[in-house]
A and B are shown apart, each in its own frame.
Chain A
Amino acid sequence: DGGITQSPKYLFRKEGQNVTLSCEQNLNHDAMYWYRQDPGQGLRLIYYSQIVNDFQKGDIAEGYSVSREKKESFPLTVTSAQKNPTAFYLCASRASGGGEQFFGPGTRLTVL
């Protein structure tokens, strides 16, 4: 099946711990994105990458880090510096040169 997978679906972490969210795509898309959604709100961009080994900060990058070592993978690390990490995290990808953006199923992160 072609698409975007995110794991885990639910994630619980203690305060002060770093945690990494996985995002994998087999659509051969160059661009990948991470968004955060808080309850009752729209999506806000955390980081994006247009090509392997390159990425840019979005609107709310503080407390997060990413890597893009492979075209298929764009993991997001939520660090202990993120003040309010409990949220729904969505990964997306898009072919280069414009066009439609597609989303994965999301990961719900809860900080205990």
Chain B
Amino acid sequence: GIQVEQSPPDLILQEGANSTLRCNFSDSVNNLQWFHQNPWGQLINLFYIPSGTKQNGRLSATTVATERYSLLYISSSQTTDSGVYFCAVRGGAAGNKLTFGGGTRVLVKP
């Protein structure tokens, strides 16, 4: 099946810093989503972005489908940005299933 790799696995930031999270995938995709998992376990939808660039406040994302990667940008980080960020894709032979990466654990220090 399709493989999804996220980097870095862990990220420690000082409040106000910017950062970039990366998601690489092994096959063509027709869906790519970024999620933020909060401390209570809830998965919050950040972006639905199979291609192109989107922005939502301090967060933005870019997917380059032809090169099989996506980037999530966090600008002016806040302590509430802490948590785990997951990339998930749907595509390849398993077109009906969303496959998750291992996540990037982010800690923003005040």
Show the binding face of A for B, using Cβ within 8 Å: 31, 33, 35, 37, 41-45, 48, 50, 56, 58-59, 88, 90, 92, 98-103, 105-106, 108
Contact = CB atoms under 8 A, between A and B. Distances in A.
B102 interface: yes
Interface stretch (B14-22, B40-48, B75-83): B40-48
Interface of B: 1, 30-31, 33, 35, 40-43, 45, 48, 86, 88, 90, 96-103
A50 B96 contact: yes
A42 B41 contact: no
Given A88-B41, A102-B45, A106-B42, A45 B30 contact: no
B48 A99 contact: yes
Interface centre among A48, A102, A103, A105 (most CB of B within 10 A): A103
Q: Which of B41, B90, B101 has the most CB of A within 10 A?
A: B41
